[in-house]
Every structure is written in C-alpha cells, then in structure tokens.
Amino acid sequence: MVFEIIDVIISGLINGSVYALMAVGLTLVYGVTKAFNFAYGSFYNMGGYFAWMLLIPLGIIGGYFSVFFAAIPVLFAVGYLLEKVLVSPLRKYDDWEMKVMMLTLGLSLFMDFGYQTIFGPRIKSLPGMIEGTLEIGQVVLFHQDIAIFILSVGGMLCFGWILKNTRTGMAVQAVAQNPAGAQIVGIPKDFIFAATFAISTIMVGLGGILLCQKTFVDPMGSTDIMIKAWVITAFGGMGSISGSLYAAFILGMLEAFVGWHFGMIYVQIATLTLLLVTLAVRPRGLMGRE
C-alpha cells in the first residue's frame, strides 16, 4: 500500500514536471501576445511524431540526443512561421482574440487529421530514452523517468535563465508588461511576438517527445493535452509563470491519485471540478495578477 502510494507520487511528479514545461510555454505566449492558442496539443503531437519519424523509420544516429538537437530548430521554425503567416495578420482586427481562437481550433483539427493521413490512425510507441532501473529499498525507479524529470526541470530552469538574463528574454518581459512602451524604446514587437510563439512551440514539442515515451503518440490525443495545458495555465493564473509551475505539479498529483484510486475516466471530471472551484473563488487563478 505504502509503496503503491509512493509509485503514484512519483508518477505524479514526472507528469507534473512535463506539464509544467508545457504550461509555462503556454502561459508565456498568452502573457506576452494575448493569443489563445487552441492548437497547442497538436504541437505536442508534432514533437511526438517528429521523434518517432527520426528514431524508427530513419534510425538516426545518436538516438535521443540527435532528436533533441534537430527538434529545437525545427520546432522554432514551425512556430515562428505559423505566427507570422496565421496569427499576426489577424492582430489588426478588433475581435482578433476570438478570431485567433477559431483559427487555431481549425488548425488543430487540420493538424490532427493531417497526422492521421500521413502516419495512419494507429498509435505509435516511442522507445525509452535509457533502459534500466534504480532500486532504493523496495521503491523501483526507472532511469527513463528520472531522465524525463531532469530534462523537463532542466529545460524549465534553462528557459527561466534565458528570460531573466539575456537581452531577448528581457525584451520579452518588456513586451509582456507594456507592448507600446517596449516599442517606443526600440524593441521589435512583432519579432518578439513571433519568437515567443516559437519558444512555446519548442517547449510543448519537447514535452511531447518526453511524455510520449511513457504513453503513446496518439493522433487524436491532442485535445486532451490542450485542455490539460490550458487548465493548468488558467488554474495557475494566465501569464503567471510561477503559478503555472505550482498548478502543473498540483494537477499532476491530482491526476495520478484520482487515476489510481477512482480510474482514469474520472481524471478529466476531477480536473474540471478543480478548475471551476478555483475560478469561482479566484477568478484569475492561483497567482494571477489583476
């Protein structure tokens, strides 16, 4: 019993860490550009399929190391282009927020069925990053889980460092605080918008590569991921990075415990209930700013 609970906690922690990586990307893009991206889950699957394509049919040398190395520029390019071509032309309309939601929802449907057309409707499984287990007493830890945890937390710390210490990161923060003011002091606002969108694509794509090893690459699983990422973001407070971090771990744990005790079918219901209760008490989420 005790060891089962420890297992559940570990799985909650690992899921939570990957969710945190994805939710931080989403909250960043919302905080900076105010674009509500409904195609977020499809970018998660893009990461999964990208890794599958490189590892299984192409059999790339270097395994996951090369996958990560190749994925970051590709995901950045895809995100950057999509923002430039699809989202930024809408910005000049009054009701662009609604239009972006509709557009990204259509894009998500297009991408999901695009994956189905290209890769077939069957789910794909990714090989693990590293084999082997680590045993501490009676608790068994998979090396893969440890690697996923380290990589996603490391990715997040690395991202936090970029945001706080580099020039581009500070420009992103400036645009988030005051777009007009940032433009006055010479920050290229449109570039920052596109770059933020691209960075969030990288984060969710990496999340896909990491988490799909534990689950599967499922062409129809994207809405589930999208809802999870959005619930975490709203629960933590949109635009608040520390809020998303807490929310991701809380929801990862909740999911693990509800799934273990009541069954997976209740996970979504529990998640929604938590979201509704939180928003009823705190309309801007846990750490949201007014």
Partner 1 sequence: MILILGGFYCVMGILPLFFGNTAHIMNILIMILIWAVVASCWDVIMGFAGIFSFGQVAFYVIGAYAGAILSVSLDIPPVFAIIVAGVVTGMLGVLVGLPCLKLAGPYVALVTFAVHMTLIPFLKGPLGRAIGSGGSQGILTIPPINLLGFAFSSEQLVPFFYLTLFLTIICTLILALIIKSYWGTAFLALKDSENFATSLGISAFRYKLMVFAITSFITGLFGALYAHYVGMLSTKMLSMDVFTILMIMMVIGGIGKYPGVVVGAVITVTISQLLAPLGMYRPLIMGAMVVILVLFLRDGVIGLAQKISPLQRKFG
- 223 scored as a contact of partner 1 (CB under 8 A): yes
Interacting residue with partner 1 among 1, 4, 61, 95 (CB under 8 A):
95
Residue span binding partner 1 (CB under 8 A) among the ranges 1-9, 57-65, 199-207, 272-280 = 272-280
Which is nearest to 227 in space by CA: 197, 270, 196? 270
Helices (H), 121-178: 143-165, 167-177
Residue span binding partner 1 (CB under 8 A) among the ranges 19-27, 87-95, 189-197, 243-251 = 87-95
Which is nearest to 252 in space by CA: 40, 50, 18, 81? 18
Interacting residue with partner 1 among 62, 89, 127, 188 (CB under 8 A):
89
- 140 scored as a contact of partner 1 (CB under 8 A): no
Interacting residue with partner 1 among 62, 73, 116, 289 (CB under 8 A):
116
- 131 scored as a contact of partner 1 (CB under 8 A): no
Q: List phi, psi (to 5°) of 203.
A: -65, -45
Kind of pairing between the strands at 139-142 and 133-136: antiparallel
Query: Which C-beta is closer to partner 1: that of 164 or that of 282?
Result: 282
**Beta-carbon count within 10 A of 13 CB:** 16
- 269 scored as a contact of partner 1 (CB under 8 A): yes
- 230 scored as a contact of partner 1 (CB under 8 A): yes
Interacting residue with partner 1 among 93, 125, 177, 181 (CB under 8 A):
93
CA dist 39 → 5, 12, 14, 133, 163 (Å): 34, 25, 24, 36, 24
Helix (H) or strand (E) holding 246: helix 241-261
Interacting residue with partner 1 among 36, 40, 64, 142 (CB under 8 A):
36
- 289 scored as a contact of partner 1 (CB under 8 A): no
Q: What is the identity of the amino acid at 213?
A: Q
Query: Which C-beta is closer to partner 1: that of 25 or that of 155?
Result: 25
Interacting residue with partner 1 among 73, 127, 132, 283 (CB under 8 A):
283
Interacting residue with partner 1 among 216, 224, 242, 257 (CB under 8 A):
224
Contacts of 240 (CB under 8 A, 6+ apart): 27, 31, 285, 286, 287, 288, 289
Q: List phi, psi (to 5°) of 247.
A: -60, -40
Query: Which C-beta is closer to partner 1: that of 192 or that of 275?
Result: 275
Q: Which positions from 67 through 86 interact with partner 1, judged by CB under 8 A? A: 86
Query: What is the rounded CA–CA span in Å between residue 84 and residue 80?
Result: 6
Interacting residue with partner 1 among 5, 66, 97, 178 (CB under 8 A):
97
Interacting residue with partner 1 among 65, 72, 77, 117 (CB under 8 A):
117
- 122 scored as a contact of partner 1 (CB under 8 A): no
What burial letters (b/e) apply to 42-58, b meaning 16+ CB within 10 Å? bbbbbbbbbbbbbbeee
Contact 54, 67 (CB under 8 A): yes
Q: What is the identity of the amino acid at 230?
A: W
Q: Which residues bind partner 1 (CB under 8 A)?
A: 30, 36, 86, 89-90, 93, 95, 97-99, 101-103, 105-114, 116-117, 121, 223-224, 227, 230-231, 234, 238, 265-266, 268-269, 272, 275-276, 279-280, 283-284
